[in-house]
Structure formats: C-alpha cells, structure tokens
Structure 1
C-alpha cells in the first residue's frame, strides 16, 4: 500500500460518514414531511365534517349539506307517502251501495206488506166490533116481530118498537155516533141537506121545519147529512112577496 492510499482512507471514511449523515437527515426530513401530510389530511377531513355540520359555504361543505338535505327530503317524502290517504276503491263502493239499496228496497216491501196486513186486520176488527154492537138490536127486533104476530093490542107493538129504538140509541152511543140536531135549528149546509121549502107560521124563515132522514156524526166527521125541509116564512108574507115579485116582472115587461 502506498502512502497515497494510506492518506486516502481517512478521506473516504470522512466522506462516507458525511454521506451517511446526509442520508439520515434526508430520511428524517422525509419522515417529517409524511407526518405533516397525514396531519394535513386529517385536518381537512375534520374541517369538512365541521363545515357540513355548521352549514358551511365551502364547496365540500355545500356538497355534504346538499346530500344531507336530499336525504331529509327523501325521508319526508316517504313519510308523506305513508300518511297520504289511499285511493278509494270505487268499484267496492258501488257494490256496497247497490247491496244497501237492494236491502232497503226489500225492507220497504216487507214494511208495505206488513202495514197492508195490519190495516186489513184493523178493518176486520172494526167490522166485528160494529156488528157485535148491533147484535142486541137484532135480537130485540126479532122478539118484537115474534110478539107482533101474537099480540092482540097495538100498545104492546108500540112498546116493542120503542124498545128497539132505545137499543139503537144505546148502540150508537157506545160507538160514538151522534144524531145531528135539525128540527127548529137554523139551516146549516155543513150538516143539513134541504130537499124542499115550505111556509110556516111557527118556524122562522131559514130554519128547519122537519127532517125526512136523520144525520149522524162520529167525532168531527160527518157520516150523513140530515135531509130536511126549510121554512120560507109565514104564508101571508110569502104570498105578498110572490105578488110583489109578479108585479115587478110585469113592470119589467
């Protein structure tokens, strides 16, 4: 080994040491840079999340807020769709209304038949009651006829007729039938039917002289009007009126 080689070895050792130190420093610098980069990335992510939560106006924050708003809208639309009423089934409603109509019609037909049946029963019962009331009158009339065939005096026949009349009056009273008062009463077209007019010295003009047929009422209802003869006033006054009427007719000619 030469002297130059011996002298060169310390220099190379120094160079190698310097290179190693430089490499360590570079490695240290590189490691510090990567750590700083990682911290920068973490800070950026944290900032984006914080901006999105606070409603930041940065580009990244706006995108996150929009995404959250869209998600909220989707949830709201889903809730609204669940709360919205379902579309009515018109066919089912028509079928239900048709069934109700048919049922109502059937019930009305049954009601009409029941009312007709009950009305017939009431009418039959009224007939039976009326006929039952007159059975006693019929029995007394038969007894009077039988007694009349064997009776030798007129008084017994009169008594039988009076008994029949009394039974008629009793029956009318039980049925609520009243006879219309006519004789001596002023003529009333509601209850009287005039068939003739005669002069009378005792009955004033416009009043009933006599009746040919009796009238009857049941409660407020008129069964039959009384057939009556109405007074035209005194005979002398009637003759004077007739004469005056005739003279007026002649003067008119």
Structure 2
C-alpha cells in the first residue's frame, strides 16, 4: 500500500502568497470620481512637500545671511574700537607737529632729524589708517555741517561767509564712509551769509 508522503513527518510547506494589506498601495479607484479625487489628493501632497522644501531653503538662507551679518558687524566694530584707540596716537603726533617752529633750518641738525622722523611717522600712520578705510573729515574752509563737525567756538572773521570753518582744533575721521569721530572746529561769524550760487537761466531751447 502506498504510503502518504506527509505521514509521520512534518507537513509540507505551502507557498504563501503576499497579502495586499502589507503593501502601502492605495486601492484601485472604481470610478472616474474616485480617480479624480486621488489625483487631487496626490497633487495636494506634492504642493505641501514643495512648500515645506521652499520654507526650509528660505530658513537656511536666512540663517546663513544672519551669520554673515554678525561676522561683518563684529569685524567692523572691532576695527572701529581699534581705530578709536589709534586716533589718540594720531592726535598726539599732530599736537607735536603743530608745536614745531615754522623755520626748521635754524634748529640743531640732530633735533631737525628727530622732527623729520616724527613727520614721517605721522604720514605713515595716516597712510595705514586710509588703507583700513579711516579717512579724515574735510573741515578747514568748509561750511559747518553738524553731521561731521562739532563747533567749539565762534571767531569774528568778516572775510569769509558766516558758518565757515576757520580753524580745526581736533581732526575728525570717517570709517568706511561713516562718521567715526566728529571734527572739533572754530566757526566764523559776522561775515556775509553764504548762499548757494544761482545759475542764470539757459537760453537753449
């Protein structure tokens, strides 16, 4: 008698077909309405993902820009603090040079050499400041401008228009075009009031 191949042993393994429930596949639409609804749902999900991506890119760009601004601000403020400290050295050199006699030929040669060295040091210091964006404010002979000048006194001088700067007591400086220190000046009073020049009308048609 033929024996059962499964008798007395483990049952034979039967192939297991994959269940549809294990796959994340949307059910097949049964009508055009369901298909349209599915398309709209996928389009909405796509738009949402694109919006999130754009927002993430914009936020990353903003973070990068803020970091660059912070670095630039720190660099600029660091230069400003250093420049303000160096200006005191420039002021002392300027005072020393302003106290020198006009005729240097009558001075002892050894002293004259020291003076020449101070003058060279002052020129080099001004050159270094300019290379780092620190420039002097124009003052002498200019109309008084409260944005760049600080009036310390008024001087009777009818030879120039009132409000003209006739003496620079302490020079002012700009850094990268922005005021670092206002120039302390003496301003003329009593002269004619400066008025803007009026151009005659043109005869050209």
Q: TM-score, normalised by structure 1?
A: 0.40
Larger RCO (CA within 8 A; separation ≥ 6): 2
Which protein has the larger Cα radius of gyration, Structure 1 or Structure 2? 1
Give the structure with the higher percent helix.
1
Q: TM-score, normalised by structure 2?
A: 0.47
